[in-house]
Amino acid sequence: MEVIVAETAGFCFGVKRAVDKVYEQIKESPNEKIYTYGPIIHNEEVVGDLEKKGVSIINSKEELKMLKKGIIIIRSHGVDKEVYDIANSNNLKIVDATCPFVLKIHKIVEKEKNNGSHIIIIGNSNHPEVQGIKGWSGEDTTVIGNEEEARNFSMEKPKKICIVSQTTFNYNKFKYLVEIISKKRYDINVLDTICNATHERQAEAKKIAANVDSMIVIGGKNSSNTQKLYEICSKECSSTYYIQTLEDMNLCELQSSSCVGITAGASTPNYIIEEVHNNVRKF
């Protein structure tokens, strides 16, 4: 059986960097209590392993305010300024694992806000990354995530607008929503801040799925980017499986396949991908 593993499967650069930073801190500071602001990634296995190693999760600013010592690690999604302020005033050591691509958006919106622009973030308003960006763009910000919100957008006193995007937003949808807003004839500066990692992973998965008999997509049940990968692969290959770990896979189902493809969502650790790969190959 031929097995093709996507080169872009698994952690993107920003997530890998964030997870590595947590393990680094565990090694470097064995006597200090380590916290992450929110789960470091959407993966139960990794979060469980970190918990066993003594890393705890802080879920809100209120909880953070209660901490008086330790290390707080900021995950790749980034956070608003208030989180840094609370951590600093409580003398916590901050390890900032915000993805550099997200940090770049923070800088853009802060600068544009100071220049007097209204900021539009194209993205999902409930997503922590968008909430973090909003914390840097200030009150004069609108989050637009769908067609209706784009059509309903208006400004009483028109001023310059700067549009940015959540890094993981779908490019075609971003373009479509920007088109709707552009028709309103405001003075608009559009900055496409979508990260290529997602696009590249999806494009590669699509290509592989179109050329194999069976396709395996590995990732957390709640991971939206894994769900999207599954959707894309299912369209190309009717025999597509969505699994979290090897245990979810009945390898016998691959019996009639001579070529199997494997991809994985952004929060799937390498060892899970390798485990699936090795077992499928042996089978």
Residues with a known catalytic role: 129
**In angstroms, what is the minimal distance from the CB of 223 to ligand F3S?**
12
Please tell me the total number of residues recorded for the chain in this structure. 283
Say whether residue 13 binds ligand F3S (CB under 6 A): yes
Sign of CA dihedral 61, 66, 68, 69: negative
Q: Of the two residues 3 and 12, which places its CB atom closer to ligand F3S in the complex? A: 12
d(CA 62, CA 54): 21
**In angstroms, what is the minimal distance from the CB of 110 to ligand F3S?**
18
Sketch the per residue contact string, 115 through 154, with ligand F3S: x for CB under 6 A, - otherwise: ----------------------------------------
Strands, E assignment, 17-139: 34-37, 55-58, 71-74, 93-96, 118-122
H-run or E-run covering 13: helix 13-28
Contact segment (CB under 6 A) with ligand F3S among 99-107, 173-181, 230-238, 272-280 equals 99-107
Sketch the per residue contact string, 60 through 79, with ligand F3S: x for CB under 6 A, - otherwise: ----------------x---
H-run or E-run covering 1: none
Say whether residue 14 binds ligand F3S (CB under 6 A): yes
* CB-CB contact of 167 with 195 (8 Å): yes
**In angstroms, what is the minimal distance from the CB of 129 to ligand F3S?**
8
Say whether residue 83 binds ligand F3S (CB under 6 A): no
Interface residue with ligand F3S among 142, 166, 198, 226 (CB under 6 A) is 198
Query: For ligand F3S, which residue has the nearest CB?
Result: 14
d(CA 136, CA 128): 13
**In angstroms, what is the minimal distance from the CB of 245 to ligand F3S?**
22
Biggest alpha carbon distance in the chain?
66
169: Cβ–Cβ under 8 A, 6 or more apart, which residues? 122, 123, 124, 194
Question: In the complex, which residues of this chain contact ligand F3S (CB under 6 A)?
Answer: 12-15, 76, 99, 101-102, 167-168, 195, 197-198, 266
